[in-house]
Amino acid sequence: MGREQVHPDPEWETGGEPAPLRGIVVGFDGSDHSQCALVWAAREAERRRRPLHIVTAYSVPIFAASGLDGGYATVDDSVIREGAEAILKHALDKVAGYSIDVDASVENGDASGVLLEISESAELLVFGTRGRGGFVGRLLGSVSSALPAHAKCPTVTVPLICADRLGETTQDKHVLAERAKSGRQPVENVVVVGVDGSDQARIAVLEAAAQAERLSARLRLVCAVPQYTGSLAWVPAPMDRDALFADIKIQLDAGVAWLRSHFPALEVETQLVDGSPVDILVDASRHVELVVVGTRGRGGFAGMLLGSTSDGVLHHAKGPVMVVPDRDDLRLADRASFGPMLGGY
């Protein structure tokens, strides 16, 4: 898979070979969706004081011949590459006003494979919900399912309905219809993270806390308790929901004490609600800066991520959604010393 550097960056040059990617990576294809992702990624790179890497990818289509002399015909690779380079030039111009280091590259290969490979050395991977087909055209389809589920770094999906809050415009009929139905809602300076007591959720909480600090925002820990379905193996049966909620509240407070020990200046609040996790998070996404979830959890909240729960959030969210992959973190070791934990561990 070749890489063409459109705008040089010293970090890419090590002994004549491209250095590993660092910083914020955004997938871009020139669509309205990717324009929103680009603006969000540029702002994030500025907040983190990290470089921004803009990537587009394409595969050369092959057509089967229908004549008697059957064979294959291909489109001229140079024509497609020139078009991709023009798209990246537009992206570079769009972010020229940000105080960040920027470079861009054209990749030859499948979109999901390209981004998954890049995620191994990226700090954050950002993309829109749909595209033109060449790069992120299947988002949110097979590519979007592959990226959050298998990426080695956190991913952020930026839906097109975020255009107005990012200072972008769109004539997309679905977005215009949604705005006409719900109106424009003010965006609270809040980061929401879904919790269920699993270590995977705690990893997401730590990432969400760091993001809230960057935004000078409040962090809201949301625990949604759906009606008992049998999948909540950690819930005792028969279930006294009042007692259950009281017990969860104690454990949430202990979790907040643990979190504040690592982020002492952060304003943290909890929200314990009765209802569907997908519905609660999607509704929150309308009026907060960011919703954060882990890749999987315990079943009651994030246990099916990236299954039905994450698909529901990612497909229907009205704001940016960050998915945090599972990883080791030494800060998890002292959680038990702060009090009871959901599910007893």
Q: What is the pLDDT of residues 264-282, one digit of tens each?
A: 999 999 999 988 888 999 9
In this structure, the answer to whether residues 139 and 215 fall within a common structural domain is no
Is 57 inside any structural domain?
Answer: yes
Q: What is the DSSP string of 17-70?
A: EEPPP-SEEEE--SSHHHHHHHHHHHHHHHHHT--EEEEEEE---EEE--STT-
264 vs 163: which has the higher pLDDT: 264
**Residue 285 confidence (pLDDT) above 80:** yes
Supply the pLDDT for residue 256: 95
Q: Which pLDDT score, from 0 to 100, does residue 170 have?
A: 81
* pLDDT value of position 342: 61
| The pLDDT of residue 198 | 78
Lowest average pLDDT, out of 21-35, 36-50, 224-238, 294-308, goes to 294-308
pLDDT of residue 267: 97
When pLDDT is cut at 50, 70 and 90, the band that residue 326 belongs to is: confident
- 283, 154: one domain: no
Instruction: Decide if 246 is inside a domain.
Output: yes
Give the residue-averaged pLDDT of 150-174.
Answer: 88
Mark whether 144 and 255 lie in a shared domain. no
| Average pLDDT, integer, range 103-110 | 87
Q: Are residues 121 and 196 in the same domain?
A: no
Residue at 294 is within a domain = yes
Q: How far apart are alpha carbons 323 and 140 in whole angstroms?
A: 14
Of the chain, the percentage scoring pLDDT greater than 70 comes to 74
Residue 91 · residue 79 · CB < 8 Å: no
| 312 plus 199 within the same structural domain | yes
pLDDT of residue 310: 66
The CATH number of whichever domain residue 209 belongs to comes to 3.40.50.620
Assess whether pLDDT exceeds 60 at residue 309: yes
Same domain membership, residue 335 and residue 266: yes
Closest CA to 85 of 57, 115, 110: 57
- Check if the beta carbon of residue 271 is closer than 8 Å to that of residue 221: yes
Same domain, 27 and 128: yes
Bridge partners (DSSP) of residue 134 are none
Do 167 and 47 fall within a single domain? yes
Residue at a domain's end among 173, 204, 228: 173
Whether 194 and 112 share a structural domain = no
Last residue of a domain, which of 116, 140, 173? 173
> 80: domain range?
3-173
Among 55, 201, 185, residue whose Cα is nearest residue 128: 55
Whether residue 303 is contained in a domain is answered as: yes
pLDDT at 340 over 80: yes
* Residues 192 and 62 both lie in one domain: no
Closest by CA to 88, choosing from 102, 101, 77, is 102
Confidence at 138, pLDDT banded by 50, 70, 90 = very low
What is the pLDDT at residue 257? 96
Average pLDDT of the chain, as a whole number: 79
Instruction: Measure the CA–CA gap between 270 and 249, rounded to whole angstroms.
Output: 9
Kindly state the average pLDDT of the residues 2-18: 39
3-state SS assignment for residue 74: strand
Q: What pLDDT sits at residue 135?
A: 42
Answer whether residue 166 is part of any domain: yes
pLDDT of residue 50: 96
- 54-68, 170-184, 243-257: the lowest-pLDDT one: 54-68
Q: Name the residue with higher pLDDT: 47 or 344.
A: 47
> Residue 57's pLDDT is what?
82
pLDDT given for residue 90 in this prediction: 94
- Same domain flag for 194 and 69: no
Name which of 202-216, 237-251, 328-342 the model is least confident about.
Answer: 237-251
Mean of pLDDT values over 189-215 = 92
Domain count, the chain: 2
* Alpha-helical segments (H) within 63-198: 77-94, 111-119, 142-150, 173-182
Residue 34 belongs to some domain of the structure: yes
> Which position has the higher pLDDT, 165 or 112?
165
**Are 18 and 163 in a shared domain?**
yes
